[in-house]
Amino acid sequence: MRKFYSAILLVLLLEMCQSALAQSKVGTTGAQFLGIGIGARAVAMGGAFTAMKNDASMLYWNPAAIARNERVQTAFIHSNWLIDTRIAWAGATANFGDGGTVGGAVTLLTSGEIERTTERDPDGTGELFSTSDLSFNLTYARPLTDRFAVGITAKLISQSLYQSSAQTVAIDLGVLFDVSKRFRLAATMHNFGGTMRVRGNALLITASTGTGLNGDNNGIPAELSTDAWNLPLVFRVGIATEVLEDASNRLTLALDAVNPNDMQPHANVGIEYGWRDMLFLRAGYNQLFVEFAEAGLTLGAGLKYNLGYLAFRLDYTYQFYGRLNAPQWLSLSLLF
């Protein structure tokens, strides 16, 4: 059975290699912040996290996987992202046994203050503005058998820039299959939903029907109409396996095949070593097979401390990003 599913993933990877030379379609979708992988642990494993489990950030990676989350889990995540932007994420899951598992999360990407410029004032008008991207998620998952789980996430997505904004809704779908005690197969579809069309006071103008002579009208209140942008639809297939697991050591390998609608198909690979479920070392590589990719190597570490009824986990990741500043991720998780 394991060989069968590994063969499926190998075929997908070979297909991506053949597709890597195709047009990437970068910049053809809206709400790009939805494609930023969430969580120090997940990012440290190169984003190869679709088939992982027992982590609150699975709310982002695979809604079905929260069905395997134990007890109540919460996580608070922060990153100084690219070019002076910042990401904050908070999420929680609660397992109700036969009633399934529910969860919720919020993602916020902010720019900080930016000085406004115009054609007449290219050096700045003295006015400051900011941008923000926001997503509210609600997730439900449940196991259909002792090995197979499904999940769904409903999203409310909003973006704002100066005096304009865009909103829409979308869903994520996921499945997780425990092929064996140490081998898992997962698949997800992310951001299936509406389109983003910008509206607001920044698009209000004064229009004219002509020269103003012979009955033509000037000074007509009007509004510019923008294109509607699709969301970044992403399909993922992933495997994860514990190649070593005993009382003191656990070594997990993970591999994801990723097919987005706005860039080249690629693969993510990751590894995690845990000692006594207390100390963790992680490494990964993001966007394999993508030509001129800025993302690449990721390194991270974590510490977990148990207090019986409560456990803390602190994770840190350094993400190499080519010519851009290297994002650093910090996650604090609580398990009740």
Query: Tens digit of pLDDT for each residue in 304-319?
Result: 998 878 899 999 999 9
Contact indicator for 226, 197 with CB cutoff of 8 Å: yes
d(CA 50, CA 61): 6
Range list of H helices, the chain: 2-19, 40-44, 58-61
d(CA 172, CA 181): 26
d(CA 259, CA 277): 33
Q: Is the pLDDT of residue 8 over 60?
A: no
pLDDT of residue 23: 56
What the chain holds in terms of domains, given with CATH numbers, is: 2-194+231-335 (2.40.160.60)
* b/e code 40-78 from CB counts within 10 Å (16+ = b): bbbbbbbbbbbbbbebbbbbbbbbbbbbbbeeebbbebb
Average pLDDT of the chain? Answer: 87
- In this prediction, residue 24 has a pLDDT band, given cuts at 50, 70 and 90, of low
pLDDT of residue 3: 52
Q: Is the pLDDT of residue 291 over 90?
A: no
The model's pLDDT over 216-228, given as tens digits with 9 standing for 90+, comes to: 667 778 778 888 8
Q: Is the pLDDT of residue 203 over 80?
A: no
Q: Which residues contact 10 (CB under 8 A, 6 or more apart)?
A: none
Q: Which residues contact 43 (CB under 8 A, 6 or more apart)?
A: 37, 284, 298, 300, 317, 319, 327, 329
Tell me which of 200 and 285 has the higher pLDDT.
Answer: 285
pLDDT of residue 9: 52
Give bridge partners of residue 266 from the DSSP assignment: 258
Contact indicator for 91, 58 with CB cutoff of 8 Å: no
Tell me which of 294 and 305 has the higher pLDDT.
Answer: 305
Mean pLDDT for 101-112 is: 94
